[in-house]
Structure 1
Amino acid sequence: MKNSSWTIFRLSLIVSLLAASAPLARADVIMDWNAKADAIATEKQILPAPHSRVLSMMHVAMFEAVNAIDRRYAPYKLALSADRSTSREAAAAVAAHDVLLSLYPDLKPELDAALTSSLVPIADGESKIAGIGLGKEAAMQIIALRENDGSAALETYRPLTTAGAYVPTTVPLFSIAGATTPWVMTSGSQYRPGPPPALGSELWTRDVNEIREVGSRTSVIRTPEQTTVGRFWFFVGARTYNPIVRQAATAKGMDLVDCARLYALTSIAGNDAFVAVFDAKYHYNFWRPITAIRNADLTSNAATPRDASWLPLGDTPMHPEYPCAHCITSAAISTVLQTIVGDFGEFSVTSPTAPGVTRKWTRLQDYSDEVSNARIWAGFHYRFSTEIGKEMGRKIGALTVATQLRGVEAMAEPRR
């Protein structure tokens, strides 16, 4: 035990001294390429699940590249090593560029121009050349690592019907997402929850009646602010939380390595949240409020009457209800941020689905809770589904921080 403690102390001291003697590397390159990836997703209308995969690959590659120089944290999977004189900015930029290029080869001119902008300020020389080579190696290995992660599997969702009977013909989204390889979890079902409540239960009766009243398009009890918040969170995917990660890193004055780590952790936690929630959604295939309320007579529950023309505030997302995807991702991201940086002052988000509106918070918990309430006010999710989603997200966030990209103490622990 004494030898292990002394080893950890020496590693910590060495890393601290080396970090103090190294030239400060700016974290802007991490944020710039994150913004670039988000801009591409907006332009190409990339759906949340594939965009989350892109971000995870890019940010893990960037982290592995810069961490190979500083050796401040345990790597994700790669065994890279580089001289401390290697340019961190060059390594990060090339890693990001090469990952994005592998996924968006049609954008080569645009990505090459962005890479040039990242590399021009870096002085020419051996440091820059080494950084470029390191970034290429990190990207190549991460691309290979995720080549067979299941994301290219054919969608085979089978609509429930009887022979000859019409059903809506839009194919639900993300039916294969739950079977893709997670970054942190052992499988998509690791945190699969128990089933939704029975349709005759007190919990079901309470929550379906709540959403019938407050989530209706013509609700008379939903407040104007709740309506605004409900519409605000029609916005989906990583573009809803990446601005928060940026604000956290900026508030804490993170250097390039710590910023790369924060973005990598939030990206893989967000990706695994998608995997977990869609595993559960398609396992249970539970009905959305619009379906349940218009077919309430099928449940033989006299306390939940049918409303033949009920509509939610917005258009219901095209995948099963249980659990809430917004809720799991916001809770996973909040948990990672709370553990790594804590509450960091006021932060804010804007949304293309609520032009002119800016939502602000001072506590990460309040942000996560607002997201969950918004899905109820929008008429998309029952309250029990939001609570289960948040619980799953907290578990995934905690697992991510506890097991991935840890500090020098992780490198001193014996391999198991």
Structure 2
Amino acid sequence: MSRPKFGVRRRLVSIAAVLATAGGALLAAPSTAAAALPPHPIDDPVIYWNDVLLQLIRREGGSPVRMARSAAMLNAAMYDAESSYRLTWKGGVTSEAYLSVKKYAGWSEGPDEEERVLGRTAYNVLLKLYGPRQTQFLDAKFRERFGTEPTDGDLLDYTIVGPMVDQIMKARENDGSTNSEAYSSDGVPGAWRHTSYPDMADPDCDEDSDAVEPNWGLVKPFALASGSQFRPPTPGTYGTYEKLLESEEYKRQVEAVRKLGADRPTAATPEITRTTEQEAAAWFWANDLNGTYKPPGQLLQATRHVSEARGLDTYENARLFALVSLALADSGIAVRDVKYQTNIDLWRPVSAIRESGIDRNWKPLLKNVDGVNVSPCFPAWASGHATFGAAWAQVMERYFTTDRIAFDMTTDDKQSPVKTRHFTSFSEAATENANSRVWLGVHFPWDATDGLTLGTKIGDYVFDNRLKDLT
């Protein structure tokens, strides 16, 4: 059986016709969704549906940049839907729309209307992004939240939910995210190539064409003018791989990660300078493997921790999660621009160290669940973790008007020796996140540095130009 559009039974079409005003607008009326909500440990609907997203990310796996795009679409749609609810029943809004908001028709506010507007918007956006693979899961999460079926009727689907879902989906049509053209390596020393060696067999990265999301830097951003808007100058400084490899700075970069990021000592690398604390942090921030909530999910979870500790209301949460998600999505686009659209598609440390003859037995600390050492299947420069983390930290600092907020963070990485870490500021967390990639042996220090700079600029731009405060 086909699913009714926006989860509305066809019988509501006749009801809608009866309740239509002379001008054709629909009146919000009681529905089967109006019963009291079941008890649930997550009170706020914005946080609930972001938790559902994190569960979807764990179930789906795949690229973190795609996860960030989903988060931006979900949270931008929920923010505009929440703003529409506020405009209709609470006297107005205090920050700008992402796309548009509307004052929708109705005699009076219905039971749990804010919850219904947000939940039905979130459910339908996620259904469009992850259905049909995850339809049963999403239906179960809807029933858990509302105690009803998502196909039960609600006139809000006509008056506000449908328009909110339609506008975010239309805004992202043909944004470049479906470009599946395979990657072709530059094929010279210094250029990225797959990192699957006989003693590091990685079935997910045993061909150069396996490179992940090589065209994502060309995807239309959510806030930036283009993925290259804040491109750091470092890759272009050298111009060619040959000049890069001849530079003294490059040699210092290789030496730093060789000692900090090695899995274990070898004859050629007898000393590892990474501390026990650095190794713990490296695994805490990893979240590279499928089954985790990936780097964007870890930052969304941290957003939840901070929000709950500071008692934000639903409208405040909708804006915060939207700002964070827009910044994360554009970070994914911008960092892929640096990795693939510049003159230097820098190889990973394991290639630099092995193929130059420095240490042919060197392996990075990062491993998959089978204990096989691996490197992410895309170029090193710049670090995605660093870019995501800095963009998140900057949005959080601007939103709360201070960097100095203490909070706890969690991890999904099963190899992490600790599940919670405490930070005294957003920038402290972002800096450790960036450095963790060097300690895992998968990035050079300048990947982290440039990622932090790039992410900070993105966070500032998003906050200055989207969902601006109207008060």
The TM-score, its normalising length taken from structure 2, stands at 0.73
Q: Aligned partners of 1:310 and 1:189: how far apart in 2?
A: 34
**Structure 2 counterpart of 1:75, one-letter code:** A
2:405 to 325, 344, 347: 344
Aligned counterparts, 1:5-404, within 5 A = 28-70=44-86, 71-82=93-104, 85=109, 87-106=113-132, 107-120=134-147, 129-130=155-156, 133-161=159-187, 168-169=206-207, 171-196=210-235, 198-219=244-265, 220-235=272-287, 236-282=294-340, 283=342, 284-296=344-356, 306-314=358-366, 315-341=374-400, 342=402, 343-357=404-418, 358-404=420-466
Q: Aligned partners of 1:46 and 1:93: how far apart in 2?
A: 25
How big is the shift at 1:72?
2.4
Gaps of 5+ in 1: 1-25, 298-305, 410-416
**Structure 1 counterpart of 2:339, one-letter code:** K
Aligned residue for 1:199, secondary structure, equals: helix
Q: Aligned partners of 1:131 and 1:354: how far apart in 2?
A: 44
Partner of 1:301: none
CA deviations over 1:261-288 (Å, ceiling 9, x no partner): 1111111100100100001101221111
Q: Does the C-alpha gap of structure 1 residues 338 and 149 become closer, same or farther in structure 2, counting only changes over 3 Å?
A: same
Aligned residue for 1:158, secondary structure, equals: coil
**Structure 2 counterpart of 1:172, one-letter code:** A
How big is the shift at 1:232?
2.3
Richer in helix (by share) = 1
Q: Is the 8 A contact 2:257 2:439 kept in 1?
A: yes
**Structure 1 counterpart of 2:102, one-letter code:** L
Q: Does the C-alpha gap of structure 1 residues 339 and 132 become closer, same or farther in structure 2, counting only changes over 3 Å?
A: farther
Q: Aligned partners of 1:182 and 1:386: how far apart in 2?
A: 22
How big is the shift at 1:374?
0.8
2:468 to 394, 397, 406: 406
Aligned residue for 1:74, secondary structure, equals: coil
Q: Is the 8 A contact 1:91 1:133 kept in 2?
A: no
Q: Aligned partners of 2:116 and 2:273: how far apart in 1?
A: 55
Q: Is the 8 A contact 1:94 1:132 kept in 2?
A: no
Gaps of 5+ in 2: 1-41, 87-92, 195-205, 239-243, 266-271, 288-293, 367-373
Aligned residue for 1:93, secondary structure, equals: helix
CA deviations over 1:104-163 (Å, ceiling 9, x no partner): 222323323322443459xxxx9x74477412220111111111111111232124459x
Q: Aligned partners of 2:465 and 2:55: how far apart in 1?
A: 31
Q: Aligned partners of 1:27 and 1:186: how far apart in 2?
A: 36
Q: Is the 8 A contact 1:345 1:362 kept in 2?
A: yes
Q: Is the 8 A contact 1:97 1:111 kept in 2?
A: yes
Q: Is the 8 A contact 1:60 1:76 kept in 2?
A: yes
Aligned residue for 1:189, secondary structure, equals: coil
Aligned residue for 1:242, secondary structure, equals: helix
Q: How many residues align?
A: 368
Runs (4+) off by over 6 Å: none
Aligned residue for 1:348, secondary structure, equals: strand
Q: Tell me how large the CA RMSD over aligned residues is.
A: 2.3
Higher mean C-alpha deviation, range 33-42 or range 200-209: 200-209
**Structure 1 counterpart of 2:316, one-letter code:** D
How big is the shift at 1:291?
1.1
Q: Is the 8 A contact 1:49 1:237 kept in 2?
A: no
Q: Aligned partners of 1:112 and 1:252: how far apart in 2?
A: 31
Q: Aligned partners of 1:239 and 1:75: how far apart in 2?
A: 24
Q: Aligned partners of 2:219 and 2:126: how far apart in 1?
A: 20
Q: Aligned partners of 2:264 and 2:224: how far apart in 1?
A: 41
The TM-score, its normalising length taken from structure 1, stands at 0.83
How big is the shift at 1:233?
2.3
Q: Aligned partners of 1:239 and 1:74: how far apart in 2?
A: 25
Higher mean C-alpha deviation, range 80-89 or range 39-48: 80-89
